[in-house]
Structure 1
């Protein structure tokens, strides 16, 4: 069998190279379209502000998970501080979440007060207020299997220098699941502690995703 060899003129080689590159660019653009676009922050008023995080949890949740308020607040603050994005440029967190929890415990009469009344007492210009209405580490269908689920609401309270407040953002019925791939029946062998930590981190991520631009999560098949 004869072997055929093609000798390209330099100009022809250049044309071939350009055509190949353009073809690659076209392929890249098609592949690129498969990625979800970035999602903008729903609230973008944290930059240059002093920020505090306060979590309230239903009494029934606190009986089983007594540290959920502090744990979730710490996770939200940690994710925000670590983000280093335009939305958090110049943001400060002057007090640890434990100080807000202690303040509320030292002033039990404020528990029923609206957050807009409490926020000026914290000495910050933005208060991230989270209410946890539902939290569980076991599947609702199979109590021996593990699936973390939580439902929350979020409010951002802006405090002006005079102590006036404004509810700048609010969202209810925010859901978090851990593991995010777990079926409704749950999965075995994870354990309550690992499920608790994973669910708490998933909750923090859901909150922070409202405050920072982020990449859309890929759709999962059923």
Structure 2
């Protein structure tokens, strides 16, 4: 057995030499791709949800709501679920209760934030205002290029001004990262699910330590959909 291993080790340089530089380029490309998929630990940007009652409230314009009527509830459920699972001591109001309050409150998005806190009976509100949710680039329905953008504001009951955001962040999620992916290569359902997953993940990540791509511009979320 030892002789066989020794023989293989001796022959390996010869095989690589006979194959030319192609083998080295292949190995280099694989190593680079692996490097681009690496993830590093990132701390929470906002830690004020720990041991607090929380409501995740989602708003969007009528155009997006007409195309994707379940989007607010799915985002609220997904982000709220990750917060409840990952943030120590956080108690999250159910999406159904939040949506019921929204439906029963005329012009709820014009209600002062302090009144929202009282109505929902929580100490923190994560208000997600979705500006963009599209699966293809503007004017080109033949290419998949999903993008979701939003402002995420934090409302605190014990902040300096409960009627203003304590903090606000901009989130941009894209799926897939493959350039010029033609329409026949995937389906609307796959792209929508991937984009939604990526957006919910990036939004929830702001509230707890997590593993994030080392190279965000090179990372392929379609390869790794781990929350």
TM-score normalised by L of structure 2: 0.71
User: How many correspondences in the alignment?
Assistant: 182
Going from structure 1 to structure 2, the CA distance change for 1:36 and 1:99 (only over 3 Å counts) comes to closer
Q: 1:104 matched to which residue of 2?
A: 102
Q: 2:198 matched to which residue of 1?
A: 202
Cα offset, 1:109, TM superposition: 3.1
| SS class of match (1:48) | coil
Greater gyration radius: 1
Contact 1:148 1:199 in 2 (8 A): yes
Instruction: Pick which of 184-193 and 57-66 moved more.
Output: 184-193
Q: Deviations over 1:81-129 (max 9, x none)?
A: 232xxxx111112x31121122111111323334444232101111111
Cα offset, 1:168, TM superposition: 2.1
Q: 1:153 matched to which residue of 2?
A: 151
| SS class of match (2:89) | coil
Going from structure 1 to structure 2, the CA distance change for 1:120 and 1:160 (only over 3 Å counts) comes to farther
Question: Which 5+ residue runs of structure 2 have no aligned equivalent?
Answer: 1-37, 220-227
Question: Which 5+ residue runs of structure 1 have no aligned equivalent?
Answer: 1-34
Q: 1:8 matched to which residue of 2?
A: none
Q: Deviations over 1:17-40 (max 9, x none)?
A: xxxxxxxxxxxxxxxxxx665221
Matches within 5 A, 1:120-135: 120-135=118-133
Contact 1:151 1:176 in 2 (8 A): yes
Q: Distance in 1 between matches of 2:100 and 2:187?
A: 30
Q: CA RMSD in A?
A: 2.8
Which segments of structure 1 move beyond 6 Å, counting only runs of 4 or more?
none
